[in-house]
Amino acid sequence: MWMPQQIPQLAERLKAMGFRGDPKAFADLTGQPMGAIVSLGGCSASFVSPDGLIVTNHHCVQGALQFNSTPQKNLMEDGFLATAREQELTAGPGSRVYVTTSVKEVTDEIAGKIDPKLGDRARYEVIEKRIKERTAACEKDGQRCRVASFFDGLKYYELAQTEIQDIRLVYAPAEGIGNFGGETDNWQWPRHTGDWSFYRAYVSPAGRSVPYAKENVPFKPKHWLKVSTEGAGPGDLVFVAGYPGRTERFATYAQTKELAEWAFPRTVRRNTELIALLDEVGKKSKETELRVATRKRGLNNALTNRKGVVEGFKKGNLLGKKEGMEKALAAWIGADLERQKRYGDILPALDAVQAEKVKTRERDTTLFDLLGNGSSLLPAAHTLYALSLERPKKDLDREPEYQERNWSRIREAQDRLQRSYDPVADRALLRYILVEASKLPAGQRIEALDRKAGFSAGMSDVDAGKKIGALLDRLYAGTKLGDKAVRLALFDKSTAEILATKDPMIELDAVLDPLWQANRERAKTREGALERLGSRYAEAVLEKSGGLTAPDANGTLRVTYGRILGVPERDGLIYSPQTTLAGVAEKATGAGEFNAPIKELDAIAAQKAGKKTPYADPKLGSVPVNFLSTVDTTGGNSGSATLNAKGELCGLLFDGTFDTVASDYLYDTEKTRSIHVDTRYMLWIMSEVDGATNLLKEIGEAPSLDVVAPGH
């Protein structure tokens, strides 16, 4: 997952693979094709027209579909098509598009001239202050800036992005296309999923980034991608440009071991139980089922991913390999006196930091689940209470997430929460976490919660259940935070005013907050140590490798490349790299995860009958649906543009294979594969099934002569 500015250094490798373009084009973020690549703040996307049309994955627009759905008109199932601009729907509060305009190295400004005698906590403060100051100086004229760490603090880069606030839903195929195969096929091959959708970016008539308003006009990007009708085939070189989230390939053995043996198995257990819980509450009403759908899909995706990582660590003996690599590094350091002096203390010191963190991991993760992301109302109370504590401070002294630059996002999140909040589901989720908190071992208790709920170490499940029920009764009978107007009214209030409401959710957060703050302080000391040690650790790894190396993914713009290639599944069985329409028809059952729309199946039957389409691959004799490639991707790459050798959009990255998700922690050069939806399938569905003639014209494609009328 290369930084764009590294691509020119790979010119010889790319030439050997048959690339005849200019590698320097990838380093120019304001040129073609990189100027067309955008982030959605969790997914990747790209402009495909001069009128701000954006293509991304179907699963990346689920929030917008949910926001605009009702039990009577469920866009998550039926899909959506705006045949005119005025029909396009707001994606909802908090939706953003980010266009990266510059990347500048600022290592000296952030990490230079720091007194080596400073303690870890003081070191953290110096770096955080410098990052805040740098970010504030960068952010003007609608820019959103970030200073990101690369190679564990060895390098720092400042990224400037144009932030667009008015995002509208234009087109999403029906669930039976966009999520065909569902969780059964998730992270699997072969796939037949039409994982694409379209947004449009809007700005004020003066061209400024502003929130949704009727008078806003489509954003005019300087660059957009041509959508390929030729695609790419087996053996062809492809590039993927997007915003991968996070990899941990520079993690130590001890850090990786905790993930493999504790954190990920815990996620597998919890997500399995939480999905079952949401399935159960969803049966009670269609409204509840709709409101929990996006959360459940996220839990399912993470569950399958973590299962794959745990299994990959076991099957591939990845922990053993990681331990071997670390021992080799230690031996390399020990073989030279100068290296011993520079790096000899690093591994023991990093292990000590990790060991300290492990001591309270059960308590700390449970507290985070309570206040951070487990349910909806208690985290909302936590956000509003924390903001009231931070607001009186000078902006540079506030915690980064509560600086003024983020206030609009906080408000929008409280607004958007209303579309996913369900009191029955919320109570069930909070109860689940409280049960876990009641079972914490002695020495890792959340003492303030014990006092509030009447918990004690070793108490019986029956007694704990009664106390949890009583606490939940008090919380949900007394809270008013389920009302959006109440939450938004508290946004500007002081701590005293918020406490004066005597809302039980806020009162619970207030008694838990001292431990949250203490954990934050410990984390700052730990981060200071990891920055000091991690940068030297990365330096040692890079020096030992002696070659050009990509930094771990960190949510910044990256480019990866590879070939369209199948993969050996097991002895005697090799998966081909492409799937076709025939596979859709074979899998279609008419129900559940394989409920392909009848009009699609009719169109496939017509194709089999010999009807010609410009989107068929002559070698396949059919329209290609999905393809495999050897590109290196991870979460956050969803929706990334897949470019052929001409620099045209030939696909969208949407998944990886189950066998190789552990590559986020130790890269597998042989088996790693990513899964893409072919643009020819997208164009064929738009033409032959959904009748998206307006969009076909906009992206430069003439529609079929006998388009099926749109059914959305």
Contact 166, 203 (CB under 8 A): yes
Nearest to 649 by CA among 68, 217, 221, 45: 45
First and final C-alpha spacing in the chain: 38
CB 643 within 8 A of CB 650: yes
CB 222 within 8 A of CB 17: no
Set 388, 638, 640, 687: catalytic member = 638
Is-catalytic flag, 712? Answer: no
Coil vs helix vs strand at 693: helix
Asked whether 452 and 470 are in contact (CB, 8 A), the reply is: no
Kindly report the three-state secondary structure assignment for every residue of 467-511.
HHHHHHHHHHHHCCCCCHHHHHHHCCCCHHHHHHCCCHHHHHHHH
Contacts with 614 (C-beta within 8 Å, 6 or more apart), sequence order: 229
Annotated catalytic residue 195 = yes
Half-sphere exposure of 91 (CA within 13 A, CB side): 26
Nearest CA to 165 out of 183, 144, 193, 189 is that of 144
Cβ-based neighbour number of residue 149 at 10 Å: 22
Distance from C-alpha of 246 to C-alpha of 647, rounded to nearest angstrom: 26
Length of the chain as a residue count: 712
**CB within 8 Å of 240: residues ≥ 6 apart:** 559, 560, 561, 629, 631, 633, 637, 640, 641, 642, 643, 653, 674
Q: How far apart, in Å, are the Cα atoms of 561 and each of 170, 390, 461, 564, 641?
A: 30, 44, 53, 10, 12
- DSSP class per residue in 119-164: -HHHHHHHHHHHHHHHHHHH--TTEEEEEEEETTTTEEEEEEEEEE
Residue of 78, 152, 185, 195 marked active site: 195
Place of tokens 């990786």: 256
Other residues' Cβ atoms within 10 Å of the Cβ of residue 478: 12
**DSSP code at position 700:** T
- Side chain identity at 641, as an amino acid letter? A
59 part of the active site: yes
Contact status, residue 537 vs residue 350, Cβ threshold 8 Å? yes
Instruction: Report d(CA 57, CA 640) in Å as an integer.
Output: 8
Query: 625 with 678: CB under 8 angstroms?
Result: yes
609 three-class SS: coil
The token pair that represents 401 in the structure block: 């997430």
Catalytic residue among 44, 46, 58, 59: 59
CA distance linking residue 684 with residue 53, whole number of Å: 18
Active site residues: 59, 195, 638
